[in-house]
Amino acid sequence: MSILIVDDSEEMRALYRAYLKEAGFKSPVIVDSALAAYEKLGIRKDSAPPKAPPIEIILLDVAMPDIDGIEACRYIKSFDLFYDIPVVMISAMEEEEVVALALEAGAVEFVHKPIRKLELIARVRAILRLKREIDSRKLHEEKVMELAKKLAKQNELLKKLSATDSLTGIANRRSFFEHVKEEWKRSIRNKRSLSILMVDVDHFKHFNDTYGHHSGDDCLKLVSSTIHSLLNRPGDLIARYGGEEFIIILPDTHLKGAEIIANAVRSKVEDLAIYHGDIPTGNCVTISIGIASIEPTKENEVSKIIKAADKALYRAKAEGRNRVVTAVEGDIDNGA
C-alpha cells in the first residue's frame, strides 16, 4: 500500500520523500497537481475505477495552481470508493475558515507549513494505524455478515426441509397443523368459512404390491403434484397426512366451493390414467375425498373438522371409492 502526496512545489515533494523514506515508508506516490492525483486514483471522466488503487492515505496541499486542494479533496470524497481513504490537508495558511473548509471537504487532519518532520511522521503513522484498525474491523464485519447470510440461507433451507414431505415435496403433516392453526384464527377474525378435504388414493396397497414400491412412490408424487397444481390461492395447502393419504385446507371457502374443488381434484387425478388393473373402481388410479366445512368460532376446535372430513372420507370408501362425500350434519359437533 502507498502514500499519495500532492504538492506543486518541487522542494516540498523532495522534502516529503526524504522524511517518509527516513521514517521507513517505501515508495510514496508523489505528483504535482490535482489532475495528476486523479489519474493516479484511476478517476476518468467523473467516474471512479471499479477497484480502489493501493493508496492508504493522501497528503494534499491546499494551494495549487490548477485545482486547489480543498476542491480536489471534495471531488475525491464524492466517490464512495475513496470515502475511507484519509486525506491530510497541508498549507501555510492558518485562517480558521480555511481549516474549516478543508475538514468540511472530507479531510481528517490539517497540518501547517513549515512541515515539522516528527509531527508529520507521527500524524501519518497515527492515521494509518487507525485506518488499518478500521479496515480490519470492516473486513471482520463483512465476514460476519457473509457468514450470517449463509447461516440464514441454511436455516431457511432447514426450515423448508422440516416443513416438507421428503417423498412428494409438498407440505408434511407438521407443516399442515401449523398452517391450519393460523388459518383457523384468521377465519375466526374475518368470520369466514373454512373447508378441509381428506384425500385417499384408492386401493393403493394393491398398487404397491402389484407394481412395486418405486412405482407406488411415483404414483404418490404425480397425484400430489396434480392436486397441488389446482390450488391457486395463497392460503390453500395440500399436505401429506400419512401413507397414501393427503389433506387439503381451503380457507375462505364454503361447502359448495369446496365440493367444486374436490370434484375437480378427483376428476383430474382420474384423467391422469395411471394404469391400475384388476380393481373394482376400474383400471386406473383414483382417489376418494371427504369434505367438511365450517365457519370457525372460539368454541370449535380444528380437530373436530378434521375428524368430520375423515368420517366423510370413510363413507366415500365404503360407498365404492372414486367419489366425493360431504360430512353430514352433526359430524363436526360430534367429532371430538
Give just the sign of the alpha carbon dihedral 292, 295, 298, 299: negative
Please identify, in words, the CATH class of the domain defined by 173-326: alpha beta
Q: In the numeric block, which cell numbers belong to residue 135?
A: 479496515
Please enumerate in sequence order all residues whose Cβ is within 8 A of that of 1, keeping only pairs 6 or more positions apart, or say none.
54, 55, 56
* Dihedral, 300, 303, 304, 307 alpha carbons, nearest 10: 170
Instruction: With beta carbons less than 8 A apart as the criterion, state whether 59 and 23 touch.
Output: no
- What's the confidence (pLDDT) of residue 336? 40
Question: Are residues 222 and 167 in contact, defined by beta-carbon separation less than 8 angstroms?
Answer: no
pTM score over 0.95? no
What local confidence, expressed as pLDDT, does residue 160 receive? 77
Contact 253, 293 (CB under 8 A): yes
Going through 113-158 in order, the beta strands assigned E by DSSP cover none
Strands of 109-112's sheet in order across: 29-31, 2-6, 55-61, 87-91, 109-112
Residue 186 three-state SS:
helix
Cα separation, 180 vs 159, in Å, equals 17
pLDDT of residue 6: 94
- The tens place of each residue's pLDDT in the chain, 336 residues long, gives 589 999 999 999 889 888 888 888 877 889 999 999 999 999 988 888 888 788 889 999 999 988 999 999 999 999 988 888 999 999 888 788 888 999 999 998 888 888 888 888 888 888 888 888 888 888 888 888 888 888 888 888 887 778 899 999 999 999 999 999 999 999 999 999 999 999 999 999 999 999 999 999 999 999 999 999 999 898 999 999 999 999 999 999 999 999 999 999 999 999 999 999 878 878 999 999 999 999 998 888 889 999 999 999 999 999 999 999 999 876 666 544
Work out the number of other CB atoms within 10 angstroms of the CB of residue 101. Answer: 19
Q: Do domains 2-141 and 173-326 have the same CATH topology?
A: no
Distance (Å, rounded) from C-alpha 329 to C-alpha 307? 13
| Closest residue by Cα to residue 307 from 263, 262, 256, 247 | 247
Strands 237-242 and 109-112 turn out to be: unpaired
List residues with catalytic annotation: 244
CB of 73 within 8 A of CB of 62? no
The Cα–Cα gap between 171 and 180 comes to: 12
The per-residue pLDDT for 225 is 96
pLDDT at 1: 56
Q: Which distant-in-sequence residues (6+ apart) come within 8 Å of 58 by Cβ? A: 3, 4, 5, 6, 37, 73, 76, 85, 86, 87, 88
Cα torsion angle, 105, 106, 108, 111, sign: negative
Q: State residue 258 phi and psi, 5-degree precision.
A: -65, -40
- The CATH architecture that domain 2-141 belongs to is 3-Layer(aba) Sandwich (3.40)
In the chain, domain spans: 2-141, 173-326
Question: What element of type H or E holds 293?
Answer: strand 287-294
| Unique residue bearing C-alpha cell 403434484 | 225
